[in-house]
A = this chain, B = another copy of it.
Amino acid sequence: MSKGKLTIAGREFNSRLMVGTGKYASNEQMVAALEASGAEIITVAVRRVNLAEMGKGCMLDYIDPKKYTLLPNTAACFTADDAIRTCRLAREAGLSDMVKLEVLGDEKTLFPDNEELLKAAKVLVAEGFTVLPYCSDDVILCKKLEQLGCAAVMPLAAPIGSGLGIRNPYNLKIIMEAVKVPVIVDAGVGTASDAALAMELGCDGILMNTAIAGAKDPIAMATAMKLGVEAGRLAYEAGRIPKKLYATASSPLTDLIGS
């Protein structure tokens, strides 16, 4: 519905919402939620699928490869080496050359280890992968990831699974000023208004999993997120009214958030 399409590494996508596959009550529920979300890119934790079971009823078999672009991710990898190995495995299994690169810093907060991330990104780009790195909302890091050849940057909005929403829109704004690759918010959103706000800030896309899979009604929430992303993007393109203390105030307020 929105005019501008999301372009990652030369490929165009109509939906700006990407979703994960973890934490669903059943594969059937997952399929229905994916469908409801309107997502075209579906991310899968390589370490959580049994690649040997592909084609024999494993979770991956529920995801129609003609309909969706599969995005293998390196969830549960805590070193560059682990993450690199996992990406190679995904490629060998024929999953994809485009990977969501995660190198986690600890099991408790699931924040990225950005130092290891840089190492892994360097190797993987050199090996021809299209790398989409999950990272902190740190402009210097994002510029480095872009310079290394990553196809996008995926700063977190808040800790994975926290549902806290966009904790630091200022950092996202600064990142968007500084890099040319798509900025895709990854992790931390909790509800539809969070998704809309991310898009209104000008982010190119958003990736989420827990917010949908962990909702009381995941399928309804998947629809809500789809609508929230579309609403936010359209509002961004439509050009909102300025903020003012009251309508007749002469000078607009410019606090960035949603402006």
Contacts and interface: CB of A to CB of B under 8 A. Distances in A.
Interface stretch (A8-16, A42-50, A228-236): A228-236
A193 B255 contact: no
Nearest to A104: B140
Given A174-B109, A227-B231, A246-B110, A237 B258 contact: no
B234 A192 contact: yes
A45 to B, nearest CB: 15
Interface in A198-229: 200, 210-211, 214-218, 220-221, 223-228
A134 interface: no
A143 interface: yes
Contacts of A136: 136, 138
Considering residues A1, A113, A225, A255, which has the most beta carbons from chain B within 10 angstroms of its beta carbon? A255
A163 B242 contact: yes
A157 B103 CA distance: 25
Contacts of A255: 253-257
A235 B110 contact: no
A88 interface: no
Given A114-B114, A163-B240, A174 B246 contact: yes
Given A173-B245, A241-B190, A245-B174, A234 B254 contact: no
Given A140-B111, A174-B109, A211-B240, A193 B190 contact: no
A165 B258 contact: yes
Nearest to A164: B243
A53 interface: no
A97 B214 CA distance: 45
Contacts of A118: 115
A210 B141 contact: no
Contacts of A220: 234, 237-238
Contacts of A224: 230-232, 234-235, 238
22 contacts: A105-B139, A107-B248, A109-B140, A109-B178, A109-B246, A110-B247, A111-B174, A114-B114, A114-B115, A161-B246, A162-B243, A162-B245, A174-B245, A174-B246, A193-B196, A193-B235, A196-B228, A216-B239, A220-B234, A228-B235, A253-B254, A253-B255
